[in-house]
Structure 1
């Protein structure tokens, strides 16, 4: 069985390229702690609240960098390469669409934001 990390089907591009592992192998390990998570969340909330949500993308990046820094794939660390400016335009568009649709568009924002997070997380 071959599990692909990326969406392409090129040989040597997925998890299978890192080795052949039996079922039940721990592929991901997370080593984050409560203190650093709390500090990161507090800073992210402050950024969001003091800018009335406009700088939320920068808070997302802060949290995603913490998550990636503490996550390992088969012993190799992940790294988040996205930037607040990289999603800022999309966030403004999504924010306006949420306002215009009285919140209905928010159901589409979370999956799109998740795609952006995953696409900007790389294996170091």
Structure 2
């Protein structure tokens, strides 16, 4: 209860983002390095790491968000989307960003 009251009273707003720029840059750099070192195989891990950080620092109407997506699941989706793009001669690629947003929304919820 104390945490909910604290979250609701930040600068008089119920919705806010409390992440810092230095952390965001650090996470982006770490994700880029790991992705480059693994030749792109760990890109889903980098995405889920960033999504988790963003959700952890987002409060909407006094409720903090949480992200529970896993890199392994996203990797499987990535393979499926790649195969569908190949089978449709690249046409399915137009839907990949929408599918990624949908996947992210299904794995983001309110913590409290």
Q: Which one scores higher on RCO, CA 8 angstroms, separation ≥ 6?
A: 2
Give structure 1 regions of 4+ aligned residues with deviation exceeding 6 angstroms: none
The CA deviation string for residues 58-104 of structure 1, in whole angstroms up to 9 with x for no partner, is 11110001100110011221110111112221111223444565654
Alignment match, 2:29 = 42
Residue number among 79, 86, 98 corresponding to 1:111 in the alignment? 98
* Structure 2: stretches of 5+ with no match in the other structure: 1-12
Is it true that 1:121 corresponds to 2:104 in the alignment?
no
Q: Return the TM-score normalized by structure 2.
A: 0.76
TM-score (norm: length of structure 1): 0.70
Structure with the largest fraction of helix: 2
Q: What secondary structure is seen at the aligned counterpart in 2 of 1:87? A: helix
| 1:69 equivalent in alignment to 2:56 | yes
Structure 1 unaligned segments of length 5 or more: list them. Answer: 1-25
Give the secondary-structure state (helix, strand or coil) at the position aligned to 1:67.
helix
